[in-house]
Structure 1
Amino acid sequence: LSVQQFVTRANSVVMNIVHQLASLYTAEQRLFAATFRAVTLRRAFDALCDLFGTLITLDDALSRVVHLVDALSAYRRVISNMQLEPTRYGVAAEQLTELEQRLASVDEELVRGTIFRRCITQPFDVPRELSVSKNTSFLA
Protein backbone atom coordinates (compact mmCIF):
# COMPACT_ATOMS: atom_id res chain seq x y z
CA LEU A 1 0.00 0.00 0.00
CA SER A 2 2.91 2.39 0.45
CA VAL A 3 3.47 2.41 -3.33
CA GLN A 4 -0.20 3.16 -3.81
CA GLN A 5 0.01 5.98 -1.26
CA PHE A 6 3.07 7.37 -3.03
CA VAL A 7 1.27 7.32 -6.38
CA THR A 8 -1.76 9.05 -4.88
CA ARG A 9 0.46 11.72 -3.34
CA ALA A 10 2.42 12.11 -6.58
CA ASN A 11 -0.84 12.68 -8.47
CA SER A 12 -1.80 15.35 -5.95
CA VAL A 13 1.59 17.04 -6.27
CA VAL A 14 1.36 17.03 -10.07
CA MET A 15 -2.13 18.51 -9.85
CA ASN A 16 -0.87 21.24 -7.51
CA ILE A 17 2.16 22.13 -9.64
CA VAL A 18 0.11 22.22 -12.83
CA HIS A 19 -2.52 24.42 -11.18
CA GLN A 20 0.11 26.83 -9.87
CA LEU A 21 1.94 27.06 -13.19
CA ALA A 22 -1.28 27.41 -15.17
CA SER A 23 -2.38 30.19 -12.82
CA LEU A 24 0.82 32.09 -13.52
CA TYR A 25 0.83 31.53 -17.25
CA THR A 26 -2.49 33.10 -18.17
CA ALA A 27 -3.38 36.12 -20.24
CA GLU A 28 -5.04 37.64 -17.17
CA GLN A 29 -1.77 37.63 -15.19
CA ARG A 30 -0.29 40.78 -16.71
CA LEU A 31 1.71 41.56 -13.55
CA PHE A 32 3.45 38.18 -13.73
CA ALA A 33 4.17 38.60 -17.43
CA ALA A 34 5.60 42.07 -16.90
CA THR A 35 7.63 41.24 -13.79
CA PHE A 36 8.88 37.75 -14.57
CA ARG A 37 9.06 37.76 -18.35
CA ALA A 38 12.56 36.23 -18.36
CA VAL A 39 11.89 33.74 -15.53
CA THR A 40 11.41 30.23 -16.85
CA LEU A 41 10.63 28.44 -13.57
CA ARG A 42 12.93 25.70 -14.76
CA ARG A 43 13.20 24.11 -11.31
CA ALA A 44 9.43 23.59 -11.16
CA PHE A 45 9.38 21.99 -14.60
CA ASP A 46 12.45 19.86 -13.75
CA ALA A 47 10.74 18.61 -10.57
CA LEU A 48 7.62 17.79 -12.56
CA CYS A 49 9.69 15.84 -15.09
CA ASP A 50 11.52 13.98 -12.30
CA LEU A 51 8.20 12.96 -10.79
CA PHE A 52 6.93 11.81 -14.18
CA GLY A 53 10.11 9.76 -14.57
CA THR A 54 9.50 8.12 -11.20
CA LEU A 55 5.94 7.19 -12.15
CA ILE A 56 7.12 5.73 -15.47
CA THR A 57 9.78 3.74 -13.59
CA LEU A 58 7.12 2.37 -11.22
CA ASP A 59 4.98 1.33 -14.18
CA ASP A 60 7.98 -0.43 -15.71
CA ALA A 61 9.08 -2.10 -12.47
CA LEU A 62 5.60 -3.42 -11.69
CA SER A 63 5.15 -4.68 -15.26
CA ARG A 64 8.34 -6.72 -14.92
CA VAL A 65 6.96 -8.72 -11.99
CA VAL A 66 5.50 -11.36 -14.27
CA HIS A 67 3.53 -13.26 -11.63
CA LEU A 68 1.97 -10.23 -9.96
CA VAL A 69 -1.22 -10.14 -12.05
CA ASP A 70 -1.82 -13.88 -11.66
CA ALA A 71 -1.05 -13.85 -7.94
CA LEU A 72 -3.34 -10.90 -7.33
CA SER A 73 -6.15 -12.56 -9.31
CA ALA A 74 -5.73 -15.78 -7.34
CA TYR A 75 -5.76 -13.89 -4.05
CA ARG A 76 -8.93 -12.03 -5.09
CA ARG A 77 -10.59 -15.39 -5.90
CA VAL A 78 -9.69 -16.67 -2.42
CA ILE A 79 -11.22 -13.56 -0.87
CA SER A 80 -14.36 -14.00 -3.00
CA ASN A 81 -14.69 -17.59 -1.80
CA MET A 82 -14.21 -16.46 1.79
CA GLN A 83 -17.03 -13.95 1.35
CA LEU A 84 -19.45 -16.84 0.81
CA GLU A 85 -18.85 -18.12 4.38
CA PRO A 86 -17.04 -15.43 6.40
CA THR A 87 -17.87 -17.03 9.78
CA ARG A 88 -16.12 -20.23 8.72
CA TYR A 89 -12.89 -18.22 8.45
CA GLY A 90 -13.51 -16.13 11.56
CA VAL A 91 -13.69 -12.86 9.65
CA ALA A 92 -16.44 -10.26 9.45
CA ALA A 93 -18.06 -9.91 6.04
CA GLU A 94 -17.41 -6.15 6.13
CA GLN A 95 -13.67 -6.75 6.52
CA LEU A 96 -13.63 -9.04 3.50
CA THR A 97 -15.58 -6.51 1.46
CA GLU A 98 -13.12 -3.79 2.43
CA LEU A 99 -10.17 -6.04 1.57
CA GLU A 100 -11.72 -6.88 -1.80
CA GLN A 101 -12.18 -3.18 -2.53
CA ARG A 102 -8.55 -2.47 -1.64
CA LEU A 103 -7.34 -5.30 -3.84
CA ALA A 104 -9.46 -4.01 -6.72
CA SER A 105 -7.95 -0.58 -6.18
CA VAL A 106 -4.40 -1.97 -6.22
CA ASP A 107 -5.19 -3.94 -9.36
CA GLU A 108 -6.68 -0.94 -11.13
CA GLU A 109 -4.18 1.69 -10.00
CA LEU A 110 -0.86 -0.17 -9.91
CA VAL A 111 -0.83 -3.50 -11.68
CA ARG A 112 -2.31 -2.50 -15.04
CA GLY A 113 0.64 -0.31 -16.08
CA THR A 114 -1.38 2.88 -16.02
CA ILE A 115 0.27 4.84 -13.21
CA PHE A 116 1.79 7.48 -15.47
CA ARG A 117 -1.19 7.62 -17.84
CA ARG A 118 -3.62 8.11 -14.96
CA CYS A 119 -1.45 10.93 -13.64
CA ILE A 120 -1.30 12.92 -16.86
CA THR A 121 -4.95 12.37 -17.73
CA GLN A 122 -6.32 13.67 -14.45
CA PRO A 123 -9.01 16.32 -14.83
CA PHE A 124 -6.79 19.38 -14.30
CA ASP A 125 -9.49 21.96 -15.01
CA VAL A 126 -11.32 23.49 -12.06
CA PRO A 127 -14.79 24.61 -13.21
CA ARG A 128 -15.31 28.38 -13.01
CA GLU A 129 -11.85 28.84 -11.46
CA LEU A 130 -9.04 27.51 -13.63
CA SER A 131 -8.95 26.20 -17.16
CA VAL A 132 -5.76 24.27 -17.81
CA SER A 133 -6.79 22.48 -21.00
CA LYS A 134 -7.68 25.71 -22.81
CA ASN A 135 -4.89 27.88 -21.38
CA THR A 136 -2.87 28.64 -24.53
CA SER A 137 -0.26 30.68 -22.62
CA PHE A 138 0.50 27.72 -20.36
CA LEU A 139 0.34 25.04 -23.03
CA ALA A 140 2.57 26.94 -25.47
Structure 2
Amino acid sequence: MPENKANNYFETIITREGYSMKAVLERQTLDVLIQIIGGDVPHYGVVMTIDNAGHTTVTSLPSRPGHVHQEQVLINPVAKAIAPVLQGNAVIVSGMHVNNITPNQMKAALGMANELGERLATWLTDHPSQQPEVNFAK
Protein backbone atom coordinates (compact mmCIF):
# COMPACT_ATOMS: atom_id res chain seq x y z
CA MET A 1 0.00 0.00 0.00
CA PRO A 2 1.53 3.39 -0.95
CA GLU A 3 2.31 5.81 1.85
CA ASN A 4 -0.16 8.66 2.24
CA LYS A 5 2.18 11.57 2.93
CA ALA A 6 -0.76 13.88 3.63
CA ASN A 7 -1.61 11.78 6.69
CA ASN A 8 2.00 11.42 7.84
CA TYR A 9 3.46 14.93 7.59
CA PHE A 10 2.39 18.41 8.67
CA GLU A 11 4.25 21.72 8.88
CA THR A 12 3.05 25.09 10.14
CA ILE A 13 4.78 28.37 10.93
CA ILE A 14 3.93 31.47 12.96
CA THR A 15 5.72 34.81 12.68
CA ARG A 16 5.41 37.50 15.34
CA GLU A 17 7.63 40.25 16.71
CA GLY A 18 10.11 39.85 13.87
CA TYR A 19 10.85 36.11 14.12
CA SER A 20 9.28 32.79 13.24
CA MET A 21 8.55 29.56 15.10
CA LYS A 22 7.84 26.42 13.12
CA ALA A 23 6.30 23.07 13.97
CA VAL A 24 7.13 20.04 11.85
CA LEU A 25 5.27 16.79 12.53
CA GLU A 26 6.14 13.43 11.03
CA ARG A 27 4.14 10.32 11.85
CA GLN A 28 5.26 6.69 11.84
CA THR A 29 2.15 4.54 12.24
CA LEU A 30 0.58 5.88 15.48
CA ASP A 31 3.68 7.66 16.81
CA VAL A 32 4.71 11.24 16.05
CA LEU A 33 7.96 13.17 15.98
CA ILE A 34 7.49 16.91 16.35
CA GLN A 35 10.09 19.64 15.95
CA ILE A 36 9.48 23.10 17.43
CA ILE A 37 12.25 25.22 15.94
CA GLY A 38 12.94 28.72 14.78
CA GLY A 39 14.44 32.08 15.49
CA ASP A 40 17.88 33.07 14.22
CA VAL A 41 19.53 29.80 15.25
CA PRO A 42 17.26 26.74 15.07
CA HIS A 43 18.79 23.76 16.87
CA TYR A 44 17.90 20.79 19.07
CA GLY A 45 18.17 21.64 22.74
CA VAL A 46 15.33 19.94 24.61
CA VAL A 47 13.69 16.56 24.01
CA MET A 48 10.38 15.49 25.53
CA THR A 49 8.80 12.08 25.18
CA ILE A 50 5.13 11.42 25.82
CA ASP A 51 4.12 7.78 26.11
CA ASN A 52 0.71 6.46 25.17
CA ALA A 53 -0.41 6.78 28.80
CA GLY A 54 0.45 10.51 28.87
CA HIS A 55 3.64 10.28 30.97
CA THR A 56 6.40 12.67 29.97
CA THR A 57 10.16 12.67 30.21
CA VAL A 58 12.31 15.72 29.44
CA THR A 59 15.99 15.95 28.62
CA SER A 60 17.61 19.39 28.41
CA LEU A 61 20.91 19.31 26.58
CA PRO A 62 23.90 21.53 27.40
CA SER A 63 23.83 24.93 25.70
CA ARG A 64 27.11 26.41 26.96
CA PRO A 65 29.34 25.69 29.96
CA GLY A 66 27.18 25.53 33.08
CA HIS A 67 23.86 25.96 31.25
CA VAL A 68 21.23 23.80 29.61
CA HIS A 69 18.69 24.72 26.96
CA GLN A 70 15.43 26.21 28.22
CA GLU A 71 13.01 25.32 25.42
CA GLN A 72 10.91 23.17 27.76
CA VAL A 73 8.86 26.31 28.28
CA LEU A 74 7.93 26.07 24.58
CA ILE A 75 7.35 22.32 24.58
CA ASN A 76 5.03 22.26 27.61
CA PRO A 77 2.06 24.03 25.92
CA VAL A 78 2.53 21.92 22.79
CA ALA A 79 2.53 18.72 24.85
CA LYS A 80 -0.55 19.83 26.79
CA ALA A 81 -2.42 20.52 23.55
CA ILE A 82 -1.55 17.27 21.77
CA ALA A 83 -1.61 14.78 24.67
CA PRO A 84 -5.41 14.28 24.64
CA VAL A 85 -5.43 13.47 20.90
CA LEU A 86 -2.33 11.29 20.62
CA GLN A 87 -2.95 7.79 19.32
CA GLY A 88 0.51 6.51 20.27
CA ASN A 89 3.75 7.95 21.57
CA ALA A 90 5.28 11.34 20.80
CA VAL A 91 8.78 12.75 20.72
CA ILE A 92 9.03 16.54 20.73
CA VAL A 93 12.36 18.16 19.98
CA SER A 94 12.80 21.89 20.34
CA GLY A 95 15.44 24.51 19.82
CA MET A 96 15.03 28.22 19.26
CA HIS A 97 17.42 31.07 19.68
CA VAL A 98 16.65 34.68 18.81
CA ASN A 99 19.78 36.81 18.84
CA ASN A 100 19.50 39.71 21.30
CA ILE A 101 15.91 38.75 22.14
CA THR A 102 13.72 41.56 23.43
CA PRO A 103 11.15 41.30 26.24
CA ASN A 104 8.33 41.57 23.66
CA GLN A 105 9.85 38.74 21.62
CA MET A 106 10.14 36.57 24.74
CA LYS A 107 6.52 37.28 25.62
CA ALA A 108 5.41 36.38 22.08
CA ALA A 109 7.15 32.98 22.21
CA LEU A 110 4.67 31.45 24.65
CA GLY A 111 1.67 32.55 22.61
CA MET A 112 3.29 31.20 19.47
CA ALA A 113 3.95 27.84 21.16
CA ASN A 114 0.33 27.69 22.36
CA GLU A 115 -0.95 28.36 18.86
CA LEU A 116 1.39 25.76 17.33
CA GLY A 117 0.14 23.23 19.88
CA GLU A 118 -3.48 23.98 18.93
CA ARG A 119 -2.69 23.63 15.21
CA LEU A 120 -0.90 20.31 15.80
CA ALA A 121 -3.79 18.98 17.91
CA THR A 122 -6.30 19.97 15.23
CA TRP A 123 -4.24 18.29 12.52
CA LEU A 124 -3.87 15.11 14.56
CA THR A 125 -7.62 15.03 15.19
CA ASP A 126 -8.41 15.63 11.51
CA HIS A 127 -5.85 13.06 10.26
CA PRO A 128 -6.07 9.95 12.44
CA SER A 129 -3.86 6.97 11.70
CA GLN A 130 -4.86 3.32 11.70
CA GLN A 131 -3.34 0.67 13.92
CA PRO A 132 -1.47 -1.78 11.71
CA GLU A 133 -1.41 -5.50 12.36
CA VAL A 134 1.55 -6.17 14.64
CA ASN A 135 2.83 -9.69 15.28
CA PHE A 136 5.43 -10.68 17.85
CA ALA A 137 7.74 -13.69 17.98
CA LYS A 138 6.46 -16.60 20.04
TM-score by length of 2: 0.26
- Structure ranking higher on relative contact order (CA contacts 8 Å, 6+ apart): 1
Query: More helix by proportion, 1 or 2?
Result: 1
Structure showing greater Rg: 1
TM-score by length of 1: 0.26
